[in-house]
Amino acid sequence: MIATGQLIFSVAIFLFCFGALTFFTKRSAVVALMGIELMLNGVNLVLVQAGQIYKNAEGTSLVLFVTLVAAAEAALALSIFVILYRKYGTLTLENFRSLKG
Amino acid sequence: MNQATDLIAGAPTVFMWVASFFAIFFALIVFVSSNPISCAVALMGTLFSTAALYFSLGNFFVGAIQILVYAGAIAVLFVFIVMLLDLKPQKLKNLPGRLPHFLFSGLVAGLLALFLFRTIDLVPKATEDSSASILSATQYAQYFLSQYQVPFQAAGLLVFGAILGAIVLARGHLGKKEHS
C-alpha cells in the first residue's frame, strides 16, 4: 500500500508529463497553452505536498504566486491569440513562421 | 501520531483515489482529444479534481483559490476564447511527416516521467505534525505583508503590467495613428 505523499507526487508527475506532451504535440496555440496550464497545475500539487512534508509555509505561499502568474499569463496570451486570429485567420502554430530565418 | 500526520504518511482515502483518478483521466483527455472545446472542459475537470485533492489534504484555502482563480477565471477564459474564435476540431493532417515529432515528444515525456518516478522514494516521510504548513487566510496575509513583502509587491507590479498590456492589445490599433 502506498502512502498519500507518493500518490500525490504520482498524480503531479502524470499531470506534468501529459501537459508537456500536449504542449509538444498539439498544433493549435490555445490547446498548447492548456498544456502549460496542466504543467503549472502539477507543479502546484508538488509545492503543496512538499510544503506539508517539510513542515514549512514556503510551499503553500509559492502556490499563490504561481496561480497569479498563470492568471496574468493566460489573460495576456489569449488577447495575443485574438490579435493573431484577426491578422492571419488561423491559430495553427505552423502558420506563424515570420520569424523563421 | 495525530490526524495531520495520517494525512501524509498514512494510506490514502477512497476520496483521494477517486480525485487522483479523475485528475489523471481528464489530463489524458486534454492530450488525446482533437476538439478544443472538449480540451477546455477536460482541463476544467482536472482543475476541479486537483482542488478536491487539496481539500482532502486539509489545505482548504489553496483549494478555494484553485477553484476561484483557475477553474473560475482561467478555464472559463479558455472556453470563451475557443467559442469566440470558433476553433474547429483539427484532424491529424500529414501524420507520416509528423511521426518523428510525435515519437521524439513521447520519448522525452516518457524519460522525464521515468526519472521523476525514481525520485519519489527519495522524499522523506512526514513523521511529526505537518499542520504548520497549512495556512489560513489570516496567516497568508501576515506572511505576504512581512516575510514575502518584496515578492508580493513584485507580483502586484506584474499584474499591473499584464492589465496594461491586455488593454493595449485589446484596443487593437497597435502602431497606427488614431483615425477619428
- pLDDT over 50 (residue B1): no
- For chain B, what are the domain ranges? 1-89, 135-180
Instruction: Provide the pLDDT confidence category of residue B179 given band limits of 50, 70 and 90.
Output: low
pTM (2 d.p.): 0.86
- pLDDT over 80 (residue A99): no
Between chains, do B85 and A81 touch, taking CB under 8 Å as contact? Answer: yes
> Region B105-118: what's the mean pLDDT?
89
Q: Which of the two residues, B88 and B6, has the higher pLDDT score?
A: B88
C-alpha span between B149 and B145 (Å, rounded): 5
What is the pLDDT at residue B2?
Answer: 47
C-alpha span between A80 and A3 (Å, rounded): 43
ipTM: 0.90
Q: How far is B124 from chain A (nearest CA, A)?
A: 7
Return mean pLDDT, chain B: 82
Residue A3, CB-side half-sphere exposure with 13 Å CA sphere = 18
Between chains, do B36 and A28 touch, taking CB under 8 Å as contact? Answer: yes
| Interval B8-53: pLDDT, tens | 566 778 899 999 999 999 999 999 988 889 999 999 999 999 999 9
- pLDDT over 70 (residue B95): no
> Region B150-173: what's the mean pLDDT?
88
- What is the number of other CB atoms lying within 10 angstroms of the CB of residue A101? 3
Fold observed for domain A4-90: Helix Hairpins (1.10.287)
| Interval B70-79: pLDDT, tens | 888 898 899 9
- pLDDT over 80 (residue A69): yes
Q: Identify the residue among B30, B34, B173 best suited for mutation to test binding to A, counting A beta carbons within 10 A and taking the highest.
A: B30
Which chain B residues are within 8 Å of A44, Cβ to Cβ?
50, 62, 66
| Interval B3-12: pLDDT, tens | 555 555 667 7
Q: Which of residues 56-75 of B touch A (CB under 8 A)?
A: 57, 59, 61-62, 65-66, 69-70, 73-74
Nearest CA in chain A to B102: A25
- For chain A, what are the domain ranges? 4-90
C-alpha angle A55-A58-A64 in degrees, rounded to nearest 5 = 125
* Lowest-confidence pick of B54-58, B86-90, B136-140: B86-90
Between chains, do A31 and B172 touch, taking CB under 8 Å as contact? Answer: no
- The position carrying cell 499531470 is A15
Instruction: Provide the pLDDT confidence category of residue B130 given band limits of 50, 70 and 90.
Output: low
Between chains, do A9 and B16 touch, taking CB under 8 Å as contact? Answer: no
- What is the number of other CB atoms lying within 10 angstroms of the CB of residue A12? 27
A vs B: CB pairs below 8 A: 232
Q: Coil, strand or helix: which one is A32?
A: helix
* Lowest-confidence pick of A40-49, A86-95, B35-44: A86-95
What is the pLDDT at residue A16?
Answer: 94
What is the pLDDT at residue B43?
Answer: 93
Q: Which of the two residues, B95 and A76, has the higher pLDDT score?
A: A76
In CATH, B1-89 is 3.40.605.10: no
C-alpha span between B63 and A28 (Å, rounded): 30
Residue B143 touches chain A, beta carbons under 8 Å = yes
Decide: B127 and B9 in contact? Cβ < 8 Å.
Answer: yes
Nearest CA in chain A to B72: A71
| Interval B139-159: pLDDT, tens | 888 888 888 899 999 999 999
Integer angstrom CA distances of residue B98 from A98, B33, B92, B95: 21, 17, 9, 5
Which of B36, B126, B130 lies at the smallest CB-CB distance from A30? B36
